[in-house]
Amino acid sequence: MLIEGLIAVAFVAALVVFVSPNEYAGRLAAALSLLPIVGSLYMWSQFDATGNALLGGSIAFETDFVWLTLGGLDVHWFVGLDGISMPLVVLTTILTTLAIVSAWTPIDTRQSQFYGLMLFMEANLLGVFTALDFFVWFVFWEAVLVPMYFLVGIWGGPRRKYAAIKFFVYTNIASLAMFIGFIALVFGLGDSVSSMRLPEIAMALRGGELGGFAGLDAGALKLAAFVAMFIGFGVKVPIVPLHTWLPDAHVEAPTPASVMLAGVLLKMGTYALLRFNFTMMPDVAQALVVPIALIAVISVIYGAVLALAQQDLKRIVAYSSVSSMGYVILGLIAYTTYGVGGATFQMVAHGLISGLMFMAVGVIYNTTHTRMVGDMSGIADRMPVTSGIFVAGAFGYMGLPLMAGFAGEFFIFQGAFASTVHAAMPLFTAAAMFGIVIVAGYLLLAMQRTLFGPFRFDGEYEVTEAAFHDVAPLAVLLLLVIVLGVAPDLFFQMIQQAVNPILQTGGGL
């Protein structure tokens, strides 16, 4: 019952913080958020599962019992972890605490509600990464949207209501598309399944037990469902051209919400693509390898080019996320151990690095009250620690060796070049690698114009180094990025064990 305890602690902590006085809410939330960190690290230290949770592998910390019956199908309370979900659970708990601490300076109204929503969001994120029954998973999946909507809509920037509504509309329509696609598969399986348990459904689909439904034969139904689910999850990633909600949400969101959005919420999309599309229907994924790889490359290049054109530091980092998630899609479609494993590793690496970059931009904004590149220069002289961490994070984004981003991208490129799912995969991979050059261009340009050169600041505020509690989360994130880059096997070994069963019909190792 460790997973239930982890989720329950986060829910109870959210309730406690909701009713606490505003002046104590931030410190109380940070203290209570340490409990899920301790729990997730203990579970990581005791983790002994092998194989994939959906394909007959052993499941760590498993709980499975019938909860209720819907439409003749049993809904189970079924939770557990394998090597894919375990790293994401650890990432969620760590980023939540650091995001809460980063909110101490900028959040000065309705603090108890803000921090309560952050913890409520953490609880549901943990549910997304641990639930192994579709109905339970979908409840958590949808519940995550609620706190993010309010975090952006209440504590966001001048256009916060527009950004919050756009985020909610995009993600809800995407959820509807995904839900229709998956439920059509369940109906097509008919008596082959008796529950909504994801392992049962995955094994039935891979075993060829899908029949026709709604006038479609099995092949057409699987293709239609795959496309619907790919679009639904692709909005969350996001992939081009389904990305337009992301920059507005990031720019208007308060810094802690941006950290969670880029660091964890976007990983919900790639995690779901891996669990549903690429695990349950590998034959369809490989039949669509060219359009999927093309989408990945376009996302990498287009996202990087858009970042290059921005003057707002937050928009630069936001479009960087679109580019980085393109690499994850490329790794997934490679269907190799290093491709799929590297994509999963990159989810964690990007979560740490993007969280670091958004947090650093937030600290600069807290001091200068501007994020525009043209409004300042030479601030490294006045904010040396923050600027130094920003530079280190930027180099991590560029793939500097011995940092987590380098390990993730190296694994992806190694796996994608070795892929045999299509003869054009090496060409797609080579094209995607060009994105690294563009990434280096816009990050170096932004740093040169804002951090270095003669000091100039057009605002009315004094530029000084940030307080310790603002810089400390940055230092912790940078340390984690380096540790994971130096020792990627802290997660990569368990990831490999979980992705190998997916590749039985894949393109090699």
pLDDT score recorded for residue 467 = 81
- Alpha helices in 369-467, H assignment, sequence order: 384-398, 404-417, 425-450
Residue 506 has pLDDT above 50, yes or no: no
> Does 465 have pLDDT greater than 90?
no
Contact 357, 317 (CB under 8 A): yes
Cα–Cα separations (whole angstroms), residue 257 to 6, 113, 410, 476: 21, 13, 29, 18
How far, rounded to the nearest angstrom, does the alpha carbon of residue 105 sit from its chain's CA centroid?
25
Q: Are strands 376-377 and 73-81 parallel, antiparallel or unpaired?
A: unpaired
Q: Name the average pLDDT for the chain.
A: 94
For the chain, the residue count is 509
* Confidence (pLDDT) at 505: 56
Rounded distance between C-alpha atoms, residue 28 and residue 293, angstroms: 46
pTM above 0.85, yes or no: yes
Q: What is d(CA 300, CA 303) in angstroms, rounded to the nearest whole number?
A: 6
The secondary element (H helix, E strand) that includes residue 457 is: strand 456-457
Residue 508 has pLDDT above 50, yes or no: no
Nearest-angstrom CA–CA distance, 172 and 189: 26
Q: Which residues contact 72 (CB under 8 A, 6 or more apart)?
A: none
Please report where in the chains the tokens 């961490």 appear, as a residue. Answer: 389
45-91 tens-digit pLDDT: 999 999 999 999 999 999 999 999 888 899 999 999 999 999 999 99
The candidate with the shortest Cα–Cα distance to 495, out of 76, 44, 6, is 44
| Span 207-259, pLDDT tens digits | 999 998 888 999 999 999 999 999 999 999 999 999 999 999 999 999 999 99
Measured CA to CA, the distance from residue 382 to residue 384 in angstroms comes to 6
Report the Cα–Cα distance between both ends of the chain, in Å, rounded.
35
How does DSSP classify residue 76?
E
Q: Are 278 and 332 in contact (CB under 8 A)?
A: yes
CB 285 within 8 A of CB 209: no
335 near 421, Cβ under 8 Å? yes
pLDDT of res. 457? 84
Q: Which of 28, 259, 22 is nearest to 152 (CA)?
A: 259
Q: Please tell me the chain's helix, strand, coil percentages from 3-state DSSP, rounded to the nearest 5.
A: 75, 5, 20
Kindly give the residue spans of alpha helices, DSSP state H, lying in 103-159.
111-130, 134-155
Using CA of residue 148, residue 111, residue 128, residue 506, what is the dihedral sign?
A: positive
Question: Percent of the chain, pLDDT > 90?
Answer: 88
Q: Write out pLDDT tens, residues 285-324.
A: 999 999 999 999 999 999 999 999 999 999 999 999 999 9
Check residue 81 and give its pLDDT. Answer: 98
User: Please, what's the b/e burial string for 149-173 (b: 16 or more CB within 10 A of its CB; e: otherwise)?
Assistant: bbbbbbbbeeebeebbebbbebbee
Q: What is the mean pLDDT of residues 182-186?
A: 96
Dig out the tokens for 220 from the structure: 């057409």
Tokens of 283: 């034959």
Q: What's the distance, CA 285 to chain centroid?
A: 21
Q: 324-339, pLDDT tens digit by residue?
A: 999 999 999 999 999 9
Report pLDDT for 1: 86
pLDDT for 139-180, tens place per residue?
Answer: 999 999 999 999 999 999 999 999 999 999 999 999 999 999
Asked if 329 and 299 count as a contact pair (C-beta separation under 8 A), the reply is yes
Confidence of residue 507 (pLDDT cuts 50, 70, 90): very low
Find the mean pLDDT for residues 176-192: 95
Closest among 209, 254, 196 to 71, alpha carbons compared: 196
pLDDT of residue 154: 96
Q: What is the DSSP string of 412-431?
A: HHHHHHT--S-TTHHHHHHH
CA 288 vs. chain centroid, Å, equals: 24
Question: How buried is 19 (Cβ within 10 angstroms: 0-12 exposed, 13-18 middle, 19+ buried)?
Answer: exposed
Q: Which residues pair with 66 in a beta bridge?
A: 76
Q: In the numeric block, which tokens belong to residue 482?
A: 């380096």
What would the pLDDT profile of 29-43 be if each residue is shown by its tens digit?
A: 999 999 999 999 999
Whole-number Å distance between alpha carbons of 38 and 97: 11
Tens of pLDDT along 347-382? 999 999 999 999 999 999 998 888 988 888 899 989
User: Domain ranges in the chain?
Assistant: 288-509
pLDDT at 369: 87
Give the model's pLDDT for residue 232: 97
Q: How do residues 433-454 score in pLDDT, each as one tens digit?
A: 999 999 999 999 999 999 998 8
Cis peptide before 241 (omega within 30 of 0): yes
